[in-house]
Amino acid sequence: MFGLFKKDPIKKLEKEYREIMEHAMHVQRSGDLKEYARVIDRSEGILKKIDELKAAQNA
């Protein structure tokens, strides 16, 4: 019953991932490729965490 009000960590990470990818798009359009690479690297780390959480839920 108390689990009803818990927030889903996967949804939180997916929202953060979408925000970072939008930021990456703006950085790429500005031409700062080094910053773009850093932002993409960060987004890949979040995507990896999402995949791990999904795998843990399915196991």
Q: Domain residues of the chain, as ranges? A: 2-58
Predicted pLDDT of residue 3? 63
Predicted pLDDT of residue 15? 97
- Give the predicted TM-score (pTM) of the model: 0.83
Predicted pLDDT of residue 58? 87
Q: Distance between CA 58 and CA 10 in Å, rounded?
A: 13
pLDDT tens digits for range 13-58: 999 999 999 999 999 999 999 999 999 999 999 999 999 999 998 8
